[in-house]
């Protein structure tokens, strides 16, 4: 566990990115298999507010609605959560972990608003869909902003909340800015794929 923590909190943003990506997609595969075999069909269909996102009648309106929702809500939650860490692990890492687990359930139970025609068995078809790029984007945003932490909780349960830096001390390195921008670009790609799929359905 200490090795995993060292990788997730490494000074090099690319080490953090690879480590969190492997961890998240391991969670995805596990939840995908579990959902495929053990959860009811369409168990999460229509449960989340994003299912009712107003997409308009054309590709551009759908694209902008999807992209802005993911950018403001998804990335916003991630960056805000990164202001606090627990035992030096940024809480912004939780958002992509939760999202990949939910996505695994969606894939395994066909809980999408637009049906995929049935449960999807775990496989490489994942990389052709918007979800792969969207989730990777959240991971990149999380690791790129991991050093924004202002407070650290000294224990997972209990402990004290300690101020570790001031707002004016926050500064992203060039590599972190690169990863952050690349993450936003992947969100654009995901929105294009998803909007195209919705309009073509």
Mean residue pLDDT across the chain: 91
Q: What is the pLDDT along the chain (201 residues), one digit of tens a residue?
A: 689 999 999 999 999 999 999 999 999 999 999 999 999 998 998 777 666 677 777 899 989 999 999 999 999 999 999 999 998 999 999 999 999 999 999 999 998 877 777 888 988 888 888 999 999 999 999 999 999 999 999 887 777 889 988 888 888 999 999 999 999 999 999 999 999 887 765
pLDDT in tens, 86-144: 989 999 999 999 999 999 999 999 988 777 778 889 888 888 889 999 999 999 999 99
- Closest-CA residue to 115 (of 197, 23, 8): 197
């Amino acid at each position: 566990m200490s090795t995993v923590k060292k990788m997730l909190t490494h000074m090099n943003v690319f080490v953090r990115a690879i480590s969190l990506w492997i961890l998240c997609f391991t969670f995805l595969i596990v939840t995908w298999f579990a959902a495929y075999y053990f959860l009811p069909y369409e168990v999460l269909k229509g449960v989340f507010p994003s299912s009712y996102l107003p997409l308009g009648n054309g590709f551009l309106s759908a694209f902008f609605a999807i992209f802005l929702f993911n950018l403001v809500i998804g990335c916003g939650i991630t960056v805000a959560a990164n202001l606090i860490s627990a035992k030096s692990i940024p809480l912004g890492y939780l958002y992509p972990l939760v999202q990949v687990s939910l996505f695994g359930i969606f894939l395994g139970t066909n809980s999408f608003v637009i049906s995929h025609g049935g449960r999807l068995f775990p496989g490489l078809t994942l990389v052709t869909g918007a979800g792969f790029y969207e989730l990777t984007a959240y991971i990149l945003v999380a690791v790129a902003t991991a050093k924004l932490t202002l407070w650290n909780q000294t224990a997972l349960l209990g402990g004290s909340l300690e101020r570790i830096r001031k707002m004016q001390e926050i500064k992203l390195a060039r590599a972190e800015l690169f990863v952050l921008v690349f993450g936003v670009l992947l969100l654009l790609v995901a929105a294009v794929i998803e909007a195209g799929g919705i309009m073509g359905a």
